[in-house]
Structure 1
Amino acid sequence: MTSSVSSSAANVTTLIKLNQVGYKPNSEKLAVIPAVAATTFTVKDAYNTVVLTANLSSAKTWTPSAESVKLADFSSITAEGDYTLTVDGVQNTASFKISANAYDALNAGAIKAYYYNRASIDLLEEYAGVYKRAAGHADTTVYVHESAATSLRPANTIISAPKGWYDAGDYNLYIVNSGISTYTLLAAYEKYPTYFQGQNLHIPESGNAIPDVLDEALWNLEWMLSMQDPNDGGVYHKLTSKNFSGFVMPSADTSARYVVGKTTAAALDFAAVMAAASRIYKPYDATLSTKMLDAAKAAWVWAKTNPTVYYSQPSDIKTGEYGDGNVADEFAWAAAELYITTEEDAYFADFNQSVGSADVPGWPNVKSLGLISLAHNIDSLSYVVDKDLLKSRLNTLATNISSQKTTSAYGVPLTSGDFYWGSNSGALNKALMLTVAYELDNTKTNYLKTAQSLLDYVLGRNPTDYSFVTGFGVKYPQNVHHRPSGSDTVAGSIPGFLAGGANGENKTDCTTPYPSTLSAKSYLDAQCSYMTNEIAINWNAPLVYVSAALQNLTE
């Protein structure tokens, strides 16, 4: 349900901006200060005792927001507790918390958001509280669209494909975006299993023998398995209605649903995720593990036989496309995952390790997901992998990202070109890659500091003064573009979702004007703003990974 919470852009520019959720005791701690005349800042503890007075940095202008700002560094404060930061000439007092478990609730909330976005299940009050709702989209009667028809499954054949996560603010499901989303949760578990094994998300599966994050991922993996055609191993590109629904609750959307197209990208993303899932679920369910690996191999064979089947939107389908006309990166990612899981060197040939460099992943660009898995499993890799090259490429990427932080007035490695649709996920995927590189060489403490700066950005150290995660921080989005949040009777947004963030692109989605045309300030907390305020499963995924990484890597 929408809320009337708002603030003017003019007032935001005069505020102290910092991480509104908190800091680990030994993390780097920075705040952005308007470029007032003052040269020092003061921090007081909960007893109003001054614990730090220190110099501000010199003023610099950050191009994406055209602001002249200074930085306050209070990293020397390491004692747990509640604090306030003040600067003469700045009206507001900024509060912050230091805690050993600073990101536990954030991490759990970011995963629990996936539960709130489940299809095909009643969300019971016992687990969902005030966000309880009736099940929508059973998807036990799904039609094969003409674009996906074969002789064995002709058009309008009925199949069953229940479960899965709603992709974003809508009620459709897409294999390509499910690929990177589900993988990132699995990768977080693979790297930090002990952390996740101790977590209780209070979901229906809590208390069984499987860690809750894997239970949640399994809800989507089981849907993905149903999207594979058992007759040929190909994978349907998406499961959707023909048009986007209105802003109604899931149970009120009764449109016919279709599986649309088979594509090489879908098959390869599917193969990669299933290969990774096979090794991760093996200790918990050997039969499921085998099923997943068999499915991955079948999808791989289909993709090798059909290497250039790209998505083309049928004329009667108006939902999201997730089209990709270059699948070299998908081949590389699937090859890496199959190689790691099967320990068969032949798969690795398709990774093409001599070609390309590490980059920041996103749903159209997934080769670096293979690099992440190779890094996570580096001690068990065979001779076919050039481990020095792997480390070098990750190090080069991390060095380039970190160098941008040192020249940024906001102390974040973001430039004007980083403010696009879903910019917050881009920031967090940068942070993810930094933590992967840091794990390979923990002497590179600047990597960890830069990752922290990107999480700080998302949680409030940004020109909008929003913590972009619903329900977390002092000021967070109340009106995300998300059908359940906009259609229920509860004020504000369902918690745990990362809003897309500031977007410098041309936007025509709202009649309400955006507060600024400057790229880092062009954000609107309004339901109409799908270009800055939508949520998406692939945007939440790096929030899960990065919050777990910083919780575990920082003392």
Structure 2
Amino acid sequence: MPLFLPSFSSLHFLLSLLSTTLLLCHSFPNHDHHPGPPRFASHNYRDALAKSIIFFEGQRSGKLPSNQRMSWRRDSALSDGSAMHVDLVGGYYDAGDNVKFGFPMAFTTTMLSWSVLEFGGIMKGELQNAREAIRWGTDYLLKATAHPGTIYVQVGDAKKDHACWERPEDMDTPRNVYKIDKNTPGSEVAAETAAALAAASLVFKKTDPTYSKTLVRRAISVFQLADKYRGSYSDGLKPFVCPFYCSYSGYEDELLWGAAWLHKATKNPMYLNYIKVNGQTLGAAETDNTFGWDNKHVGARILLSKEFLVQKVQTLHDYKGHADNFICSLIPGAPYSSAQYTPGGLLYKMSDSNMQYVTSTSFLLLTYAKYLTSAHTVVNCGGTTVTPKRLRAIAKKQVDYLLGDNPLKMSYMVGYGPRYPRRIHHRGSSLPSVAVHPGKIQCSAGFSVMNSQSPNPNVLVGAVIGGPDVHDRFPDERSDYEQSEPATYINAPLVGALTYLAHSFGQL
């Protein structure tokens, strides 16, 4: 006799009633005034944040510390700079090769610092890891600027490096050192280095005031070099820096960006005056809406709009308009929209390393949303009102696509989610580690691995790669550096964006 059936049915009925009630409750908007996104997170943003930071340990050059967590990496390039009798050990390899390029390294450091300055207060346990990632960059930039009037901007011959496929630990290609000075100016790399040192000085202001002061003093002198001896490093060092990190946007955007960071770090009215006097000639009103290692116009606009919106510096009123123009260019269907999106919804700027524009734009959207909220204002795009909430929703959609909400259900962050790229264009990740294969792997011996279909033996956790093409396709081929190569400047702005999302969903 089925004695327990009625009670089981009743229980089942009660449970379904309860779940329906819960579902209905959550169907209605909550009326609290928190401007954050909806209450259900489709991703573990906290996990992604931790991984986005640990990635930088995989890119470290030099003598690794005892607390190194990316354990398949070992010491490398321990005599960098010795050819010029200068210590240039340390810093980061920018991407999948073994060259140290000062221009993208400085930008990476600036963006990691900005991520911490805007969102460090909610980073919780990841804050210390983020600070260490910044300090690995600034320690190197201090070495690169230690000789007054000179900045060492590159270590390694990129063409010879690219002719080998070898681990950084085995590297035997020439470690030539390239510098800028008054005879070979490089205003864009000097001003970006000044921006990095100034931004980082604010990060360490409370935790290490002595280090902070060292950073800001160096930033001031480096900016003077950038401004006094104007010229592009792509001219004087063309055979060595091009086509890798040529400056296509000129150096004016970096002078404005560097001055903005020095104004923020020093509070010296001289920099505000510099921005007022030179803003227009340095391209403040440029309509270029790209933000990345080469072009800083949009970043400078957003950064300076904060001074107007939050600090109420009336003389910077125009930057709110300049920033709004950038925002309007991104809004699908808005009157001035010019951004291209893939069918799956990913912002698409260019075929080579497109994900860097996704992460930098997401960061700027969340940061500008923060400033707008603080000032109780919105963006007006030719009659279309765009709220901070809308900006956050767009940023979230981009980050979610990156983490796996896309037609391929592929996470473009290595080690996050069930499906991610296995054959990334990265020498250290693709070749057996020193622990597994202690013997040296010769220059060209690695190409058999590079051209193979086998997955990379070492997982470069947290690495965000170039990403899919304009049709949301991704072949996962190691030789395809445009889509499969990670880079420090892809990850750096993502750290801030993931912090915001993790916190707003109660994960941090």
Instruction: Specify the TM-score bucket, using the shorter chain as the normaliser.
Output: 0.7 to 0.9
Please give the secondary structure, in 2, of the residue aligned with 1:128: coil
Q: 1:76 to 1:261 in 2, by over 3 A?
A: farther
The amino acid of 1:362's aligned partner reads: G
Cα deviation digits, residues 433-462 of structure 1 (max 9, x gap): 211221123453111111111112212233
Report 1:63-462 matches (<5 A).
76=27, 98-99=40-41, 102-122=44-64, 127-128=68-69, 131-143=71-83, 157-199=84-126, 211-228=128-145, 230-232=147-149, 234-241=150-157, 243-244=160-161, 246-262=164-180, 263-312=186-235, 313=237, 315=239, 320-324=244-248, 326-351=250-275, 352-353=278-279, 355-357=284-286, 359-375=289-305, 381=311, 383=313, 385-386=315-316, 388-403=317-332, 410=343, 412=345, 414=347, 418-442=349-373, 443-462=387-406
Give the corresponding residue for 2:464. 498
Query: Aligned residue for 1:513?
Result: none
- Tell whether the 8 Å contact from 1:335 to 1:349 is kept in structure 2 after alignment: no
CA shift in 2, pair 1:101/1:321, >3 Å? closer
**Cα-to-partner distance string for 1:221-279 (whole Å, 9 max, x where unaligned):** 111111115232x3222122352152222211033312213111111111111111122
Q: Distance in 2 between matches of 1:178 and 1:491?
A: 26
Give how far 1:525 is off.
0.7
Give the unaligned 5+ runs of structure 2. Answer: 1-14, 21-25, 31-38, 181-185, 374-386, 434-455
Change (3 A) 1:397 1:319: closer
RMSD: 3.3
Q: Encode CA deviations 1:494-535: one digit per residue, 9 max, x unaligned.
A: 2100010124xxxxxxxxxxxxxxx32443212111111001
In 2, Cα distance between equivalents of 1:392 and 1:325:
21
Task: Report the CA distance between 1:178 and its aligned residue.
Answer: 1.3
* Partner residue in 1 for 2:442: none
Deviation at 1:139, TM superposition (A): 3.5
Q: What corresponds to 1:13 in structure 2?
A: none
1:368 Cα deviation (Å)? Answer: 2.7
| Structure whose residues are more often strand by fraction | 1
Alignment CA distance shift 1:461-1:404 (3 Å): farther
C-alpha distance in structure 1 between counterparts of 2:17 and 2:426, whole Å:
44
Question: Contact 1:225–1:295 at 8 Å: present in 2 too?
Answer: yes
Instruction: Classify 1:534/1:231 alpha carbon distance in 2 versus 1 (closer, same or farther; 3 Å).
Output: same
Q: Who is 1:549 aligned against?
A: 500
- Percent identity between matched residues is 19
User: Could you tell me how far apart the structure 1 residues matched to 2:16 and 2:165 are?
Assistant: 48
| Residue of structure 1 equivalent to 2:475 | 524
Question: Quick one: structure 1 residues 481 and 384, their matched pair in 2 at CA, closer, same or farther if it must change by over 3 Å?
Answer: same
Structure 1 residues 195 and 527, CA, compared in 2 at 3 Å: closer, same or farther? same
Return the offset for 1:283.
1.0
Counterpart of 1:192 in 2: which secondary structure? helix
Instruction: Give the Å deviation of 1:49.
Output: 11
1:456 and 1:382 map into 2 onto residues whose CA distance is 34
- Tell me which of 407, 414, 422 is aligned to 1:478: 422
Equivalent residues of 2:309, 2:320 under 8 A apart: no
Does the aligned pair in 2 maintain the 1:174–1:239 contact within 8 Å? yes
User: CA 1:316–1:457 in 2, change beyond 3 Å: closer, same or farther?
Assistant: closer
Question: Could you tell me how far apart the structure 1 residues matched to 2:321 and 2:137 are?
Answer: 34
How far apart, CA to CA, are the structure 2 residues paired with 1:472 and 1:99?
15
Q: Is the 8 A contact 1:120 1:135 kept in 2?
A: yes
Gapped runs of 5+ residues in structure 1?
1-46, 53-74, 80-96, 144-156, 201-210, 504-518
1:78 to 1:164, Cα distance in 2 relative to 1, 3 A: farther
Shift of 1:308: 1.4
- The alpha-carbon deviation at position 166 of structure 1 amounts to 0.8
Aligned residue type for 1:326:
G
Separation in structure 2 between the aligned mates of residue 440 and residue 278 of structure 1, nearest angstrom: 22
1:471-507 deviation line (CA, Å, top 9, x unaligned) = 112211001001111112563632100010124xxxx
- Amino acid paired to 1:186: S
Once the 2 structures are TM-superposed, how far is the Cα of residue 318 of structure 1 from its aligned partner? 8.0
Task: Report if the CA contact (8 A) 1:499-1:535 is conserved.
Answer: yes
Of the structure 1 ranges 237-246 and 531-540, higher mean CA displacement relative to structure 2 is found in 237-246
Give the deviation of 1:350 after TM superposition. Answer: 3.6
Does the CA contact (< 8 Å) of 2:80 and 2:155 recur in 1?
A: no
Give the TM-score normalised by the residue count of structure 2: 0.75
Tell me: CA distance 1:135–1:371, structure 2 relative to 1, closer, same or farther (3 Å): same
| Cα distance change, pair 78–419 in 1 and its aligned pair in 2 (3 A) | farther
Deviations 1:115-135 (A, max 9, x none): 1111113476x7436x42321
Instruction: After TM superposition, give the deviation of residue 158 of structure 1 in Å.
Output: 1.8
- In structure 2, the CA distance between the partners of 1:99 and 1:261, relative to structure 1 (3 Å rule), is same
Residue 361 of structure 1, CA deviation: 1.1
Output the amino acid matched with 1:344.
Answer: N
Q: Give distance in 2, aligned partners of 1:77 and 1:410.
A: 30
Contact 2:72 2:458 in 1 (8 A): no
Is the 1:479–1:493 Cα contact (8 Å) retained in structure 2?
no
CA contact (8 A) 2:344 2:406 kept: no
Partners in 2 of 1:424 and 1:308 — Cα distance? 29
User: Does the C-alpha gap of structure 1 residues 349 and 384 become closer, same or farther in structure 2, counting only changes over 3 Å?
Assistant: farther
The total of aligned residue pairs comes to 426
Equivalent-residue separation in structure 2 for 1:50 and 1:478 (angstroms): 43
1:58-88 per-position Cα deviation (integer Å, ceiling 9, x unaligned): xxxxxxxxxxxxxxxxx95999xxxxxxxxx
Q: Structure 1's 167 and 409: CA in aligned 2 closer, same or farther, altered over 3 A?
A: closer
Find the residue that maps to 1:198 and give its secondary structure.
Answer: helix
The one-character-per-residue Cα deviations of 1:313-338 (angstroms, maximum 9, x if unpaired) are: 46578883433461110010011111
